[in-house]
Amino acid sequence: MTASLSDALVLFGVTGDLAHKMIFPALYAMVKHGTLKVPVIGVALPKWSLERLHKRVTDSLERSGGIDNQRTLHQLLSLFKYVSGDYDDPNTFAAIKNALDQARRPAHYLAIPPSLFEIVIKGLGAAKLAEHARVIVEKPFGRDLASARELNRVARSVFPEDSVFRIDHFLGKEAIMNILYFRFANSFLEPIWNRNYVASVQVTLSEDFGVKGRGAFYESAGCLRDVIENHLFQIVALLAMEPPAERDFGAVHREKAKVLRAMRPLNRDDLVRGQYAGYRREPGVAKNSDVETFCAMRLSIDSWRWAGVPWYLRSGKYLAETATEIMVELKPPPQRLFADSAPISGRANYLRFRLSPGAAIALAARVKLAGKDFVGDQRELYLSEEQPGEEPPYERLLGDAMAGDGALFAREDAVEAAWAVVEPVLKTHHRARPYKRGSWGPKEADAFIAPDGHWHNPGPKEASE
């Protein structure tokens, strides 16, 4: 399939929350920037009028930051058509084909529950709506290895792999893209970016809020499935991958997949699960629920570069801060030349990547204090990466998918390799430990990392430790 622009967008689930919160603002921005000029066919079960859909779009934009250009709003609304129908009814797809009119290269966006993916993909195939088309699928891509394989099989039976775009909005964030750039656009990292100099790596994605009324969803997912298996594994892949052989995103995908395949499958002792106080009182949550709202894991990558280096991943709800940070701790110098240079209670040199809130990169190094004695302190060299006018993730990813650019999307082999790592602990694991809201999770997580130091807890500001 040639990388031609899609000439229509078919938005399944147009009346849903995802469209309201994320997709409509992205479409508005695309119209504003001149990158969306094709028809948008909204599809959903409710028998709405086009006027009611327009009100829904307008409400979304007013809630997400306001409408700063009435002409852009009118242009966006003029692109919409609406098809009401059941996804397992062939007449719905016939109506979509009619609404597409002369469009021959549509992009079908499945902003719907994962349980409906197979029905819609098969419906598109049966209605001959998949030829020269693309399909955009929202995460989660399955809930275990078997379901991921089945979803990939169904998608492949209708669309070629390069026409399947698996959206993980995390990959569209500017700070995530900067990890790849920073690693391979600079030469000073490569000599130390290996098991000889790196003592450990930590990745923390923390949120200071709970499940926000999505208890029923979280009961079917949990922190491991919702955040770690996808978002944090993608960060690890970018940090641990080998340099791609060429400036080609296919090569980047291949190297990321190699990292995921080199990850050692987890066992129950590699995992600490936690549940915040009061979770069982959330609507839709079982009274005796063991679903984890916090998860910490120790990961091993069995590769030449990373053998023996522990990777600690952590994420959770109702933690002390909302932040995403990476801490790459380096080994101390081989000889203690200065009495204060060995990390007794503090850390050795480290690199710190702050992804949110606010993107930054910091390098910690010891510097001598003024005076006769050879004593010093560890300071951070701090580089802020905040840039005005950053493109929001959904605008970037939706535009890329419609242009056929798969650089920032998850690939089939990587999805299945990630599920293979967590498969052993999806059902066989220790019980979730309780923790207080506003803490950094259960105390067992601190004991878990103790052999290799202590957790780096992101602060509200970029202050160094």
Nearest to 409 by CA among 253, 184, 194: 253
Report the relative pairing of strands 350-356 and 360-368 from DSSP bridges: antiparallel
224: buried, middle or exposed (CB in 10 Å: 19+, 13-18, 0-12)?
buried
Model confidence at 465, in pLDDT bands (50, 70, 90)?
very low
| Residue 459 within any structural domain of the chain | no
The whole-number average pLDDT for the span 144-161 is 93
Model confidence at 214, in pLDDT bands (50, 70, 90)?
confident
* Domain membership of residue 307 as a residue range: 171-392+409-452
| Residue 195 within any structural domain of the chain | yes
Contact status, residue 353 vs residue 179, Cβ threshold 8 Å: yes
Model confidence at 443, in pLDDT bands (50, 70, 90)?
very high
- How far does Cα 420 stand from its chain's mean position? 18
Residue 254 or residue 369, greater confidence: 254
| Residue 272 within any structural domain of the chain | yes
* Cα distances (Å, whole numbers) of residue 50 to 62, 66, 82: 18, 21, 6
Is 231 catalytic? The answer is yes
**Does residue 386 share a domain with residue 309?**
yes
How far apart CA 150 and CA 412 sit, in angstroms, is 11
| Residue 131 within any structural domain of the chain | yes
| Residue 115 within any structural domain of the chain | yes
Model confidence at 463, in pLDDT bands (50, 70, 90)?
very low
**Does residue 211 share a domain with residue 71?**
no
DSSP string, 62-96: HHTT----HHHHHHHHHHEEEEE--TT-HHHHHHH
**Does residue 435 share a domain with residue 352?**
yes
Which residue type does 183 have? R
**Does residue 309 share a domain with residue 197?**
yes
Which residues sit opposite 328 in a β-bridge?
Answer: 201, 351
419: buried, middle or exposed (CB in 10 Å: 19+, 13-18, 0-12)?
buried
| Residue 54 within any structural domain of the chain | yes
pLDDT digits (tens, 9 = 90+) for 115-130: 899 999 999 999 999 9
Q: What is the mean pLDDT of the chain?
A: 90
Residues in the chain: 465
**Does residue 380 share a domain with residue 438?**
yes
Nearest to 5 by CA among 409, 405, 410: 405
Weakest-pLDDT range from 2-16, 224-238, 307-321, 331-345: 331-345
> Among 20, 231, 253, 456, which one carries the catalytic annotation?
231
Domain C-terminal end among 90, 121, 138: 138
Residue 310 or residue 169, greater confidence: 310
Predicted confidence at residue 222, as pLDDT, reads 94
pLDDT at 343 over 80: no
**Does residue 191 share a domain with residue 66?**
no
Domain C-terminal end among 90, 113, 138: 138
**Does residue 187 share a domain with residue 122?**
no
The whole-number average pLDDT for the span 138-153 is 89
**Does residue 123 share a domain with residue 203?**
no
pLDDT digits (tens, 9 = 90+) for 183-199: 999 999 999 999 999 99
Domain of 96, CATH number, reads: 3.40.50.720
**Does residue 122 share a domain with residue 259?**
no
Contact status, residue 464 vs residue 305, Cβ threshold 8 Å: no
**Does residue 440 share a domain with residue 308?**
yes
**Does residue 431 share a domain with residue 329?**
yes
Q: Report the number of distinct structural domains present in the chain.
A: 2
Domain C-terminal end among 88, 122, 138: 138
**Does residue 341 share a domain with residue 444?**
yes
Predicted confidence at residue 464, as pLDDT, reads 38
| Residue 295 within any structural domain of the chain | yes
pLDDT at 220 over 60: yes
- Token digits of residue 435: 């923790």
Domain of 321, CATH number, reads: 3.30.360.10
pLDDT digits (tens, 9 = 90+) for 48-92: 999 999 999 999 999 988 899 999 999 999 999 999 999 999 999
| Residue 149 within any structural domain of the chain | no
